[in-house]
Chains A and B, each alone.
Chain A
């Protein structure tokens, strides 16, 4: 849990590495109901020009925000979160993918909302651009 009063612009959030395996995509499909075939069938995924089975955009997005929620210690503190997907996350089997996510405090607004920029990469290539979260940490008592 962070102490809001000590947060400074430019502070880096602890980066994390998220391994993504086919099993994670199957689990996400089951949890979300998004069974689009490109997320689990390599034959179809490659037939439509994708490099392999690809991770759900929402799953990638949800994994990345954990850097913020772990840092702030409260998932409910995230009041806004948006990304642009720039590159599909291919999840080959065997092997899977490894999503690296780093975060930095971009600004602190007068009302206490903390703006955080996230950098999400796989093999050093950006998979989401303009990934930004707004966090309203609970006031420390």
Chain B
């Protein structure tokens, strides 16, 4: 996704507790906890969301009948000279045999624009039906990224 603000500004938004809570609201979480541990030069963020199961496809709802709680952990490293940063991303799906792991790269496109690249591998660890469930989940995972992008734009517009 592409941003009309600098990499530093995107980073500041991302590790803002209130922005993360806004993302939880925007993705329809029923409840959430956000922990941001910002240190000099980096930050680790842990966001736990309890998600409604009402809208989940039947095949997924069947394996998480009591609901789905996700814990997203993002650990940002030190910035490069131009503000670019890389984070490790890990999402745990409590009660479901699924994992998501990857990286988020925040790239500087000059001083006033930036790009965020999410490169993650979503796996459902179940024999026989795992691959099918992964395919079912693809538009849902993309939808969360789409929602977070739109919410980020609205956040920037509202602050500016």
Contacts and interface: CB of A to CB of B under 8 A. Distances in A.
Asked if A pairs with B, the answer is yes
Interface of A: 29, 32-39, 41, 44, 47-50, 54, 56-58, 84-88, 129
16 contacts: A33-B139, A34-B140, A35-B54, A35-B55, A37-B26, A48-B25, A48-B154, A49-B155, A50-B150, A56-B143, A58-B143, A84-B2, A85-B1, A85-B150, A86-B2, A88-B150
Chain B contact residues: helix, strand, loop or mixed? helix
A50 B140 contact: no
A109 B52 CA distance: 48
Nearest to B149: A85
B28 interface: yes
Interface of B: 1-2, 22, 25-28, 54-57, 60, 136-137, 139-140, 142-144, 146-147, 149-151, 153-155, 157-158
Contacts, number: 79
Contacts of A47: 25
A54 B146 CA distance: 11
A90 to B, nearest CB: 10
A47 B149 CA distance: 16
A48 B26 contact: yes
Q: Which has the most chain A C-beta neighbours within 10 Å: B54, B144, B151?
A: B151
Given A34-B140, A84-B2, A56 B26 contact: no
A33 to B, nearest CB: 5
Nearest to A49: B154
Contacts of A54: 150
B139 A57 contact: no
Contacts of A38: 26, 28, 147, 150-151
Given A49-B155, A50-B150, A58-B143, A29 B55 contact: yes
B27 A36 contact: yes
B30 to A, nearest CB: 11
B131 to A, nearest CB: 16
A132 to B, nearest CB: 14
Contacts of A87: 153
Contacts of A48: 22, 25-26, 151, 154
